[in-house]
A and B are shown apart, each in its own frame.
Chain A
Amino acid sequence: QLQLQESGPGLVKPSETLSLTCSVSGDSISSGSIHWGWIRQPPGKELEWLGNIHYSGRTYYNPSLKSRVTISVDTSKNQFSLNVSSVTAADTAVYYCARAISHFHGYVFGYWGQGTLVTVSS
């Protein structure tokens, strides 16, 4: 059974880098054309797509975060990771990792991790 599990610090200081890892079990992160993505949700607000990665290392990012977001993959550990640099209070959110597959065009998020709350505060 496919499971995704986010891990990382729950508290990050302003101006520092937020780093999270998503561990995948029940599926190979190197599966074909599947993408692995990060989505976040500030408390009480809507979902925001941050980016996707393919196991080859090809990435797709949301330009709204400019160049602050980096997503990487470690196929040997069946994990992928998220870094958000120069964080502010506006980056406080529940961060979800997800598995995305393409249905004809684009990518749809069919499996999600449980999410992890990251608070940015000094």
Chain B
Amino acid sequence: DIQMTQSPSSLSASVGDRVTFTCRASESINSYLNWYQQKPGKAPKLLIYVASFLQSEVPSRFSGSGFGTDFTLTISSLQPEDFATYYCQQSYSVPYSFGQGTKLQIK
């Protein structure tokens, strides 16, 4: 099974900051890496699929990159509604697996 590791586990930032999250796979997953945003008490929301494709209606301040085992999610200019927990998920092979999440908090 493929293990997904996210870093950091939490991050404090201010509105307007540029932030980057990292996700590492235990083996190569090509580009099959997806990012989700989850707010407290809500279901996850798909942001980015296949490493760099922006899901419909997701703001362009979100971007993703990476290939193989190392991936990043970047928010170019934080907005108040972006404070949430972010998860990566590999769709390269079954069983699909998620990272443990990075919680983005207001500084």
Contact = CB atoms under 8 A, between A and B. Distances in A.
Is chain B found bound to chain A in the same assembly? yes
B89 A103 contact: no
Chain B residues touching A, majority SS: loop
Contacts of A115: 43
B50 A49 contact: no
A64 B1 CA distance: 10
Contacts of B42: 114
Interface of B: 1, 30, 32, 34, 36, 42-46, 49-50, 53, 55, 87, 89-101
B89 A109 contact: yes
A46 B87 CA distance: 8
A60 B96 CA distance: 10
Contacts of B44: 47, 96, 109, 112
Contacts of B101: 46
Interface in A73-122: 96, 103-110, 112-115
Nearest to B44: A112
Contacts of B92: 105-106
A43 to B, nearest CB: 11
Nearest to A110: B46
A114 B91 contact: no
A108 B49 contact: yes
Contacts of A104: 32, 50
A84 to B, nearest CB: 15
B97 A49 contact: yes
A47 B91 contact: no
A63 interface: yes
12 contacts: A63-B1, A64-B1, A64-B95, A105-B30, A106-B91, A106-B93, A106-B96, A108-B89, A109-B34, A109-B44, A109-B46, A112-B45
